[in-house]
Amino acid sequence: MSEPQPLSAGHVLEYTYKRSVGPVLGRFFTSLRDGKIEGVKTRAGRVLVPPMEHDPETGEATSDDWVEVGPGGTVTTWAWVAEPRDQHPLDRPFAFALVRLDGADTAMLHAVDAGSESAMRTGMRVRARFADAPTGGIKDLACFTPEDAE
Amino acid sequence: MSEEQKTVKAIDGPTRLEYRYSPGRASTRFLRGMEQKKILGQKCVGCGRVYVPPRGACARCGLPTEEEVEVQDTGTIVTFTIVRVPSQNIEIELPYCAASILLDGADIPFTALLRDVPVETVRLGMRVQGVWKPDAELGPSFDNIDHFTALDEPDVPFEKFQEHL
């Protein structure tokens, strides 16, 4: 048997899930759509951003006390993505970073559009940039940018 | 309340995996054969079973399937199901029959669409034949056989295909 060159073709496997977000993240995303970042207070008074239904330290339900945080924040740790992939939040090199927003006691994972790795450092100040066309989801917060670059 | 003002209750969270799929050498030969309306199987060097489509090795013996054999586009229904429930991405008119078909000369059945036959009349042992797409539409694809349809031949007794379910 002479061997033909093995064939090759694209194949996509996709599940088009819709995920229910619940009351707490629902409010968070609703506020994001309006250009506000909100956190929720635990019974002990800590501000969780992103908000959760339960305090991760005690397991108690969080309060109904919401506070607006940011839009500025501080990078607490980061990793540089030199070659972004299709599904990444930015189409150019960026940092995934934990950002503690001003007024929050926890940090959230998001992208920092810093231009280059040398512009990144732990403790740097960043500011939220909102999407031009919000849809009601985490992507309404497009990314963070370095404060001193503005 | 307008759509914009409503509270967000759900988000789209698709899971999407993009693959580059290669069928490997054996199935590539099969698919190249399909381009020419030839159905190429491969025979196990140990047990002699003919695999269509071939995967390069015998699932039972673990031995290579080195001998290439051409099989016919006629075959026998060895089991079937009637689909009455609509499903996303399937545009076939309901109800339809998905039949497990053992081609003449093959030892392993595969699933294919049976058409132009009232679903009430489908039965085990029924003789069928592949209906090919027009020559202009042929490609390296199993879909070259658009569907199967009934042949006017006597049914095959169960004993003749019971080893091939």
pLDDT at A86: 87
Contact A18 B8 (CB under 8 A): no
Residues 76 through 105 of chain A touching chain B, CB cutoff 8 Å: 86-87
Name the 3-class secondary structure at B151: coil
Contact B7 A33 (CB under 8 A): no
Direct distance between the N- and C-terminal alpha carbons of chain B, in angstroms, rounded to an integer:
59
Contact B20 A11 (CB under 8 A): yes
Candidates A5, A7, A66: best to mutate against B (most CBs of B within 10 A) is A7
Candidates B5, B9, B21: best to mutate against A (most CBs of A within 10 A) is B9
pLDDT at A83: 97
Burial of A95 (0-12, 13-18, 19+ CB in 10 A): buried
pLDDT at B4: 53
Residues 144 through 163 of chain B touching chain A, CB cutoff 8 Å: none
pLDDT at B143: 92
Domains of chain B, by residue range, sit at 22-71, 73-165
| Contact status of A27 with chain B (Cβ, < 8 Å) | yes
pLDDT at A4: 75
pLDDT at B2: 52
B33: which 2 tokens?
A: 């054969």
For B22, residues 6+ apart whose C-beta sits below 8 A from its C-beta are A6, A7, A8, A9, B28
| Contact status of A31 with chain B (Cβ, < 8 Å) | no
Which regions of chain B are under pLDDT 70?
1-5
Burial of B134 (0-12, 13-18, 19+ CB in 10 A): exposed
Q: Which residues of A touch B9 (CB under 8 A)?
A: 20-21, 26
Contact B11 A21 (CB under 8 A): yes
pLDDT at B78: 97
Q: What is the pLDDT of residues A82-135, one digit of tens each?
A: 999 988 999 999 999 999 999 999 999 999 999 999 999 999 999 999 999 999
Residues 23 through 52 of chain B touching chain A, CB cutoff 8 Å: 23-25, 27-29, 31-32
How far apart are the C-alpha atoms of B10 and B84, rounded to whole Å?
A: 31
| Contact status of B8 with chain A (Cβ, < 8 Å) | yes
pLDDT at B1: 45
A141: which 2 tokens?
A: 């917060």
- The answer to whether the CB of A117 falls within 8 A of the CB of A104 is no
The architecture that CATH gives domain B73-165 is Beta Barrel (2.40)
pLDDT at B99: 97
pLDDT at A21: 94
Contact A17 B13 (CB under 8 A): yes
